[in-house]
Amino acid sequence: MAVDWSQAPEDILELVCRRLTLLPDNLCFSSVCSSWRSIAVANRSHLPYQQLPGLMIRRNNMTHRSFLSLKEGQGSGDHEKEQKRLVLQVAHDYYCCGSTQGWLVLTDDNLDMHLFNPFSGAKIDLPSVNTIPMPIRDFPKDKYDVTKVFLSSSPTTSPSEILVLMICDGQRMLAYCIVGDKAWTTIDTPKRYYFVEFFKDAMYYKGQFYILTATGEIRICDIDSTTCKLIDFAPSILMMKENGLGGYLVNLDEELYVVVRTQWYKEDYDTYVTDDGDIVDADGITPLVKFSAFKLAEPENKWWEVSSIGDNALFVGYNSSLPISVSSDLLGCKRNCIYFTNDMLPVEDYEPLGCAVGVFNLEDQSFELLYANEFLDSEPVRPPLMWVTPIPW
């Protein structure tokens, strides 16, 4: 005899729902029936504000994408789980160029841009990319001219006061706007030593945007000033300057960190003997990745490499870097670890990792890949996969 779960006692359902601390679990609870949904919606205000990020991926349906929780990191891609997976109403033709506190930055083929919270459905318009005066060139603008977009804070609180910073034109140009502006304003970025400067990452920190260059230097962009020029702040991180590696700015316990990424592969030329006595070559490529964390010592502005980030985990990639305080409420998240997506450009040296997603342990310098291959593309995609924080507000 089938059980009618819609008739379950309301007080029992209330107790069960209160024990769900992650929004995806609350959303799954709400999908059972209308009575369960009303209880789940009423209890969302009790969810902790700090939510565990998950992975936004493209699936076969072109009208939406899927959200994979960390708990699914080692899961399989069977059809039954696909039907139950959390759906995000983000069509494939949108180029997602930013992810901050649950909000995505989306650009369409017409170069129109907006902020979108896929968990609440809220939308906020931004100026069109067409308002940015790109350098003269032989090809037209397209949505991929935008590299990455950053927000000063969550639009949930006071959207009209949100500052938005964009890295564009192949990481060579900076522009900004305030929500409600009709156009983007470019920021003066003079050449240094006769070379164009490239920008890797940015973060809103202590009331200003801090920008990380490709050589590991930090510039401050005080958008409140009348001139809005970049100001030198911190010297280069030698590891980035010498190797031109990827880097991420992180605000950890109100202190400034830079996480540097090294990625390479090694070729294996081993042989082995089969049960039939045949000698078989086992040539292959083993992908390797490493992260190093540097803390800025102020006021002397010197970088110190650290071997631990304590009871924290970092989520880095194409999203705005996100630190998480690891607690029992966030099951499956490991302390002193860096969760990463492969956001490196799809050039030859980086292809072995494909669209790999993984976790790097700072303590023992090891890494493991997450998520089954059924979830991920075999080749790098544009834009790369990114972490998204499920926040329904």
pLDDT over threshold 80, residue 131: yes
Question: What pLDDT score was predicted for residue 314?
Answer: 95
As a whole number, mean pLDDT of residues 294-315 equals: 92
Mean pLDDT of the residues in the chain: 80
* β pairing state of 230-234 and 246-252: unpaired
Assess whether the region 8-47 and the region 48-388 belong to the same CATH fold. no
Q: Is the pLDDT of residue 302 over 60?
A: yes
8 A C-beta contact, residue 261 and residue 246: yes
- pLDDT band of residue 286 (cuts 50, 70, 90) is low
What is the predicted pLDDT for the residue at 21?
A: 80
Mean pLDDT of 201-230: 86
Of residues 356 and 78, more confidence is placed in: 356
User: What is the mean pLDDT of the segment spanning 284-296?
Assistant: 80
Confidence band for 71, pLDDT divided at 50, 70 and 90:
confident
Nearest to 169 by CA among 186, 156, 153, 181: 186
* pTM for this model (two decimals): 0.84
Q: 226 pLDDT exceeds 80? A: no
Of residues 280 and 96, the one with the higher pLDDT is: 96
Q: In the chain, what are the domain boundaries? A: 8-47, 48-388
In the prediction, which pLDDT does 79 show? 41
The answer, yes or no, to whether residue 319 has pLDDT greater than 50, is: yes
pLDDT number for residue 39: 86
Average pLDDT over residues 177-183: 93
Q: What is the pLDDT of residue 265?
A: 65
pLDDT at 349: 43
Distance, in Å, from the CA atom of 133 to the CA atom of 184, rounded to the nearest integer, reads: 9
pLDDT at res. 73: 66
Instruction: Reply yes or no on whether the pLDDT at 272 is more than 80.
Output: no
The predicted-structure confidence for 2-33, as pLDDT tens digits, reads as follows 677 778 888 888 888 888 888 888 888 887 88
Please give the pLDDT value at position 2.
63
Q: What are phi and psi of 289, to 5 degrees?
A: -145, 145
- Output 134 or 74, whichever has higher pLDDT: 134
Query: Quick one: pLDDT band at residue 138, thresholds 50, 70, 90?
Result: low
Lowest mean pLDDT among 79-83, 194-198, 365-369: 79-83
Q: Picking from 62-71, 84-93, 267-276, 351-360, which range would have the lowest pLDDT averaged per residue?
A: 267-276
**Arithmetic mean of pLDDT, 212-235:** 82
* Top-level class of domain 48-388: mainly beta
Instruction: Give the β-pairing of 337-341 and 312-316.
Output: parallel
Residues near 189 by beta carbon (within 8 Å), at least 6 away in sequence: 172, 173, 174, 197, 199, 230
Once rounded to an integer, what is the mean pLDDT over residues 84-92? 81
Task: Please say if the pLDDT value at position 216 is more than 80.
Answer: yes
pLDDT at position 355, please?
A: 59
190 or 269, greater pLDDT:
190
Give the H/E segment covering residue 178: strand 173-178
Task: Round to whole Å and give the CA distance between 251 and 257.
Answer: 6
Q: Which candidate, 30, 16, 3, 17, places its Cα nearest to that of 84? A: 30
> Residue 328 above 60 pLDDT?
no
Q: Residue 113 above 90 pLDDT? A: yes
Mean pLDDT of 136-155: 80
Determine the average pLDDT of the residues in 290-313.
Answer: 91
CB-CB contact of 107 with 97 (8 Å): yes
Asked whether residue 361 carries a pLDDT value surpassing 90, the answer given is: yes
Q: Which CATH code for domain 8-47?
A: 1.20.1280
Rounded to whole angstroms, how far apart are CA atoms 340 and 53?
11
pLDDT of residue 80: 44
